[in-house]
């Protein structure tokens, strides 16, 4: 390397890449929450401690969720390639990457949701049952409402995981800071682009976590421990 | 009115079955307070959970105003649940909702319009003395306040029966008092029939008209508190009334000789205040109190004394007291008989 890339060019490379990463992460998180929340509720409701225990169904649902979650993302990316082409018309670029990302996000968020709901005190749920509340109302006003802090936290954890996945997807299918780091940085022997991309990924993750913490604090009405 | 008829419930765990409830029957008349007491493991919680319709008994019926609720399901079960307000054991408030929001929950379940809901919530918070805490979240309320919110919530949908499961456990005596006052008000101001399941005798002492004693899943005593206390051998009587066999006043060397020694239970203001001195002066007997004391059950003063009578007309004095509704049990004069 004789010349380093001037800052202005680096900026031109990473700016659209950052936007693409944010776009991929937010869209797949959205799909993950929309799909994973009901799946997680279902998983919890059918569990032995749920309101409508159905052991067999629960085991089947759990197996689907956990098997999907255990597929390494790189493999998932390749495996769902044809599905991506079917849905998005192409298998490359940041929009196409949303398909495998969302497929990874749904079971991930479902498991986190089911764990969060399990932590709601059964005394609170039973109290609601004795008021004559319907199951739907109990899910909505008791389970989801009481677990709101944990659920917001789960959205944050999902987003952070997806930043990592999105970088991987980008490296293979193109798009986002991951692609910039590998293709324009590492492969092009451009350390400046490489490290700027990496730092930006870190800043992005950190920012999303801060945002999550802030929203959690905003929605949680429990008394916080103030003296540890 | 709530009636529990021949309730049985058996739990099977690793090949051994335990009868948590063994043919339990109870009847709580309209507008009265019944305490169900017993040690832990006696079946109190199971009974409470069955009456709260959270668990189905194996056999038996739970009737509120005549209708059996045990076999109901679906929307009928949900509607039936609104007839029994439940104050569950332990912390049961939604921590992400204000006091008012918690009280509103049963009204939302019953699809009461928002305007009516607000006024009903205000009424109830006023009843439990927490109007100023309407917008406070449970984590910022004291244990007693949280329990009073739970009572308000249980009363929100205008149930005819209020079931409280250990409402005073983990509360200090003063706080217990505030919760019992609220239960008492629910009965006197709303005419609700109250069933309190508790291990805490203070609850029975303070607010119960009736009491049922559970032991190993069976009701071993059931009746009006004031009737039971004067029954010889009643567990409730011996628990609620003062001890009469303090050793200090019964030392054999105390030199006291009595013609008759008896245990006397006196119920009511007039009896407690005047019966003993009057008997003494009317029959010219010397009457000394060897043990026991005075207590209060609800609003009624009740006394249990061990008395020694000396004088020719001691027997007549005792007879006269029995005629005036004192409950007298003769005790052997010797110290050996003290524990009998």
Closest to A73 (Cα-Cα) out of A100, A91, A48, A49: A100
Distance CA B76, CA B70 (A): 11
Quote the minimal CA–CA distance from B68 to chain A in Å: 17
Cβ B88–A127 below 8 Å, yes or no?
yes
- Residue A228 confidence (pLDDT): 66
Distance CA B220, CA A129 (A): 31
On chain A, the residues whose CB falls within 8 A of the CB of B97 are 145, 221
**Residue B251 above 60 pLDDT?**
no
One of 2.30.110.10, 3.40.50.460, 3.40.30.10, 3.40.50.300 is the CATH number of B2-236, namely 3.40.50.300
**Residue B277 above 60 pLDDT?**
yes
Distance CA B164, CA B154 (A): 9
Q: Where are the domains of chain B?
A: 2-236, 241-337
Q: What is the mean pLDDT of residues B104-129?
A: 95
The domains located in chain A, with CATH, are: 7-219 (1.10.3720.10)
Cβ A132–B54 below 8 Å, yes or no?
no
Distances (CA, A) of A42 to A61, A92, A117, A155: 9, 34, 11, 18
- Residue B57 confidence (pLDDT): 95
Residue among B53, B91, B94 minimizing CB distance to A142: B94
- Residue A213 confidence (pLDDT): 94
Is A221's Cβ below 8 Å from some Cβ in B?
yes
Mean pLDDT by 10 residues, chain A (228 residues): 76 90 94 97 96 96 94 88 82 84 95 96 94 94 96 96 89 82 86 90 94 94 76
Average pLDDT, chain B: 89
**Residue B338 above 60 pLDDT?**
no
On chain A, the residues whose CB falls within 8 A of the CB of B166 are none
CATH topology identical between B2-236 and B241-337: no
**Residue B248 above 70 pLDDT?**
no
Q: What is the mean pLDDT of residues B94-100?
A: 96
Q: Which residues contact B193 (CB under 8 A, 6 or more apart)?
A: B1, B2, B28, B29, B30, B31, B32, B34, B160, B161, B162, B187
- Residue B246 confidence (pLDDT): 58
DSSP structural state of residue B248:
G
Quote the minimal CA–CA distance from A223 to chain B in Å: 6
Element (H, E) at B226: helix B225-228
Q: Is B131 left (phi over 0), alpha (psi -120 to 50) or beta?
A: alpha
**Segment among B94-108, B142-156, B189-203, B267-281 with least mean pLDDT:** B267-281
pTM for the structure as a whole: 0.87
As assigned by CATH, the class of the B241-337 domain is alpha beta
Q: What is the mean pLDDT of residues B160-189?
A: 93
Closest to B149 (Cα-Cα) out of B195, B188, B182: B182
**Residue B255 above 70 pLDDT?**
no
Band of pLDDT at residue B337, cut at 50, 70 and 90: very low
**Residue B336 above 60 pLDDT?**
no
**Strands of B286-297's sheet, edge to edge?**
B286-297, B300-310, B260-267, B327-331
Query: Percent helix, strand and coil across chain B, each rounded to 5?
Result: 40, 30, 30
- Residue B289 confidence (pLDDT): 87
B1 with B193: CB under 8 angstroms?
yes
Diameter of chain B by CA atoms? 77
Is A20's Cβ below 8 Å from some Cβ in B?
no
A139 with A165: CB under 8 angstroms?
no
**Residue of chain A with shortest Cα separation from B88:** A127
Cβ A141–B86 below 8 Å, yes or no?
no
Element (H, E) at B261: strand B260-267
**Segment among A4-8, A215-219, B31-35, B173-177 with least mean pLDDT:** A4-8
Q: What is the pLDDT of residues B121-162, one digit of tens each?
A: 999 999 999 999 999 999 999 999 999 999 999 999 999 999
- Residue B234 confidence (pLDDT): 85
B223 with B235: CB under 8 angstroms?
no
- Residue B332 confidence (pLDDT): 61
What is the ipTM metric for this complex? Answer: 0.86
> In the beta sheet, which residues pair with residue B213?
B37, B221
Which residues of B lie closer than 8 Å to A, measured between beta carbons? 52-54, 78-82, 84-86, 88-97, 105-106, 108-110, 137, 139-140, 150, 153-154, 156-157
DSSP structural state of residue B90:
S
Distance CA B148, CA B176 (A): 10
Q: What is the pLDDT of residues B181-234, one digit of tens each?
A: 999 999 999 999 999 999 999 899 999 999 999 999 999 999 999 999 888 788
Is A126's Cβ below 8 Å from some Cβ in B?
yes
Closest to B124 (Cα-Cα) out of B106, B149, B93, B98: B149
For chain A, the three-class secondary structure string (H helix, E strand, C coil) is CCCCCCHHHHHHHHHHHHHHHHHHHHHHHHHHHHHHHHHHHHHHHCCCCCCCCCHHHHHHHHHHHHHHHHCCHHHHHHHCHHHHHHHHCCCCCHHHHHHHHHHHHHHHHHHHHHHHHHCCCHHHHHHHHHCCCCHHHHHHHHHHHHCHHHHHHHHHHHHHHHHHHHHHHHHHHCCHHHHHHHHHHHCCCCHHHHHHHHHHHHHHHHHHHHHHHHHHHHHCCCCCCCCC
Distance CA B26, CA B161 (A): 14
Distance CA A50, CA A136 (A): 13
Which position has the token pair 């540890």?
Answer: A228
Angle at A117 between CA A115 and CA A122, to 5 degrees: 120
- Residue A24 confidence (pLDDT): 92
A151 with A144: CB under 8 angstroms?
yes
B14 or A47, which is more confident? A47
Q: Which residues contact B64 (CB under 8 A, 6 or more apart)?
A: B1, B2, B80, B83, B84, B160, B161
């Amino acid at each position: 390397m004789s010349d380093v890339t001037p800052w202005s060019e680096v900026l031109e490379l990473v700016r659209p890449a950052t936007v693409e990463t944010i776009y991929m992460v937010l869209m797949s998180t959205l799909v993950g929450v929309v799909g994973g929340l009901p799946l997680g509720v279902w998983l919890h409701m059918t569990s032995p401690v749920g309101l409508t225990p159905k052991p067999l169904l629960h085991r089947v649902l759990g197996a689907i969720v956990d098997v999907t979650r255990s597929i390494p993302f790189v493999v998932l990316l390749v495996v769902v390639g044809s599905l991506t082409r079917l849905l998005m018309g192409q298998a490359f670029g940041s929009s196409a990457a949303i398909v495998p990302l969302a497929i990874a996000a749904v079971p991930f968020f479902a498991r986190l949701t089911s764990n969060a709901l399990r932590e709601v005190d059964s005394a609170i749920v039973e109290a609601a049952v004795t008021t004559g509340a319907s199951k739907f109302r109990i899910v909505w006003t008791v389970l989801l409402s009481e677990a709101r802090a944990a659920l917001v936290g789960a959205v944050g954890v999902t987003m952070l995981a997806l930043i990592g996945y999105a970088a991987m997807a980008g490296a293979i299918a193109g798009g986002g800071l991951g692609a910039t780091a590998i293709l324009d940085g590492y492969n092009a022997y451009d350390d400046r682009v490489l490290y700027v991309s990496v730092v930006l990924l870190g800043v992005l993750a950190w920012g999303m976590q801060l945002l999550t913490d802030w929203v959690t604090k905003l929605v949680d009405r429990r008394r916080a421990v103030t003296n540890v | 009115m709530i009636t529990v008829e021949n309730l049985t419930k058996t739990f099977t765990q690793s090949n051994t079955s335990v009868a948590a409830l063994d043919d339990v029957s109870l009847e709580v008349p309209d507008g009265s307070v019944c305490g169900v007491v017993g040690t832990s493991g006696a079946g109190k919680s199971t009974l409470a959970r069955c009456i709260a319709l959270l668990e189905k008994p194996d056999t038996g019926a739970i009737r509120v105003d005549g209708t059996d609720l045990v076999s109901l399901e679906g929307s009928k079960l949900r509607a039936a649940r609104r007839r029994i307000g439940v104050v569950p054991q332990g912390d049961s408030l939604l921590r992400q909702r204000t006091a008012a929001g918690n009280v509103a929950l049963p009204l939302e379940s019953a699809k009461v319009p928002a305007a009516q809901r607000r006024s009903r919530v205000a009424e109830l918070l006023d009843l439990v003395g927490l109007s100023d805490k309407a917008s406070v979240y449970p984590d910022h309320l004291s244990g007693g306040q949280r329990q009073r919110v739970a009572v308000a919530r249980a009363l929100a949908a205008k149930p005819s029966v209020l079931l409280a499961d250990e409402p005073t456990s983990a509360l200090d005596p003063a706080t217990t008092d505030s919760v019992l006052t609220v239960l008492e008000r629910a009965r006197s101001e709303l005419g609700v029939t109250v069933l309190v399941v508790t291990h805490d005798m203070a609850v029975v002492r303070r607010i119960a008209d009736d009491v049922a004693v559970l032991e190993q899943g069976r009701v071993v005593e059931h009746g009006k508190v004031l009737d039971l206390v004067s029954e010889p051998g009643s567990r409730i009587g011996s628990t609620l009334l003062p001890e009469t066999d303090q050793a200090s006043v019964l030392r054999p060397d105390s030199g006291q000789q009595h013609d008759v020694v008896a245990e006397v239970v006196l119920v009511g203001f007039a009896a407690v205040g005047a019966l003993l001195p009057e008997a003494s002066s009317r029959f010219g007997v010397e009457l000394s109190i060897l043990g026991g004391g005075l207590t209060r059950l609800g609003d009624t003063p009740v006394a249990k004394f061990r008395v020694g009578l000396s004088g020719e007309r001691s027997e007549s004095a005792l007879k006269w007291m029995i005629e005036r509704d004192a409950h007298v049990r003769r005790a052997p004069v010797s110290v050996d008989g003290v524990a009998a």
